[in-house]
Amino acid sequence: MRIRSDDFRRDGRAIVLVPTMGYLHDGHVSLLTAGRARGDILVLSIFVNPTQFGPNEDYARYPRDLAGDLAKAHAAGVDFAFVPTAAAMYPRAPLTRIVVDTLTDGLCSPRRPGHFVGVASVVAKLFHVVQPHVAIFGEKDYQQLMVIRRMAADLDVGVEIVGMPIVRERDGLAMSSRNAYLSSDERVRALSLSRALAAAEARFRDGERAATALIAAAKAEIADGVTVDYVELVDTDTLQPVDTIVRPALLALAAFVGKTRLIDNRVLSG
Ligand code: AMP
């Protein structure tokens, strides 16, 4: 991959990278479509990165479908799929880790110890191998997007980080590879996550600005049998908690629907 990228860079071609863990859905495809329009060479990486999963998380059973992914990639105009093995990415246990402070104080980070170290470190590796000019990420994983953007800026990586809006199913459920885990009953209950964000946004539009009231409005919508991991209101730039909204804020949540942990978020502004 590095040799190909060196050649393209020498020829003055703009390389765009869309990093994923595979099991592609229309959210991923939206990133590929945006990427196709932004450069000459579109690279999709598919790597289920073991270092970003906790010991009790779903690394071993994470859904995989390489043939299906490659068909979707081809249809979306991908030039290269970079699909390294874990052994190729980690020939030895790495001694080097990338820690991004303060942006990882809240939200998913304390609930998934080590997760963002794994994410920032593997994305840095992917950047060094693929050497893209642009990399595209989804706002579905808002904290991840902010962590990577800051890592790239702090380390002078020279990759433009582009964020794209959340793609949802018609009924509002944010698309996720993990939705494949849901039973039909769980799928119905999972809808309460996007409903919760919509309920809070409706309160916000009615003039409510207090975090406690907006968070309560969201939690009230969460279906029975769904266990809230967190609902937090944070500043869209610093990701620090907000008491009263005076500038754009992110309402973000995570919840367990059965064993499946899902996340969703919405920006409240204007
Ligand atoms: P993943 O394969 O889940 O690690 O996601 C790969 C990339 O796709 C990340 O940048 C995600 O934020 C993005 N992504 C995942 N789901 C969605 C979605 N529903 N809408 C937009 N982007 C998404």
Q: Is the CB of 163 under 6 A from ligand 1?
A: no
What span, in angstroms and rounded, lies between the C-alpha atoms of 187 and 168? 13
Distance CA 249, CA 252 (A): 9
Q: Is the CB of 146 under 6 A from ligand 1?
A: no
Which DSSP category does 175 fall into? P
pTM of the model: 0.98
CA 3 to ligand 1 center in whole angstroms: 27
Mutate which of 30, 31, 107, 159 for ligand 1 pocket (most atoms within 8 A of beta carbon): 31
Domains of the chain: 2-164 (3.40.50.620), 177-268 (3.30.1300.10)
pLDDT for residue 251: 98
- CA atoms within a 13 Å half-sphere pointing along the CA-CB vector of 68: 11
Distance CA 250, CA 142 (A): 9
Q: Which atom of ligand 1 approaches the CA of 141 most closely?
A: 12
Distances in Å between the alpha carbon of 219 and those of 34, 170, 256? Answer: 34, 22, 13
For residue 243, the Cα-to-chain-centroid distance in whole angstroms is 25
Ligand 1 pocket member 252 (CB < 6 A): no
Query: Nearest residue CA, atom 7 of ligand 1?
Result: 20
CB 17 within 8 A of CB 132: yes
At residue 260, φ and ψ (nearest 5 deg) are -90, 125
Q: What's residue 270's pLDDT? A: 84
Q: Is 116 in the pocket of ligand 1 (CB under 6 A)?
A: no
Identify the sign of the CA torsion 203, 140, 186, 58. Answer: negative
Contact between residue 42 and residue 19 where contact means Cβ atoms under 8 Å apart: no
Atom 19 of ligand 1: nearest residue by CA position: 175
Q: What pLDDT score was predicted for residue 56? A: 95
Consecutive sets of 10 residues in the chain, 270 residues long: mean pLDDT of each? 97 98 98 98 98 97 98 98 98 97 98 98 98 98 98 98 98 98 98 98 98 98 97 98 98 98 96
132 lines ligand 1 (CB under 6 A): no
**208 φ, ψ to 5°?**
-65, 135
Q: Using an 8 Å Cβ cutoff, are 232 and 107 in contact?
A: yes
Structure tokens at 105: 């104080």
The span from the CA of 134 to the CA of 228, in Å, is: 35
* Residue 28 a catalytic site member: yes
Query: Quick check: CB of 21 below 6 Å from ligand 1?
Result: yes
Counting from 1 in the atom list of ligand 1, the atom nearest the Cα of 136 is 10
Contact 171, 195 (CB under 8 A): no
| Of 141, 146, 148, best ligand 1 pocket probe by most atoms within 8 Å of the beta carbon | 141
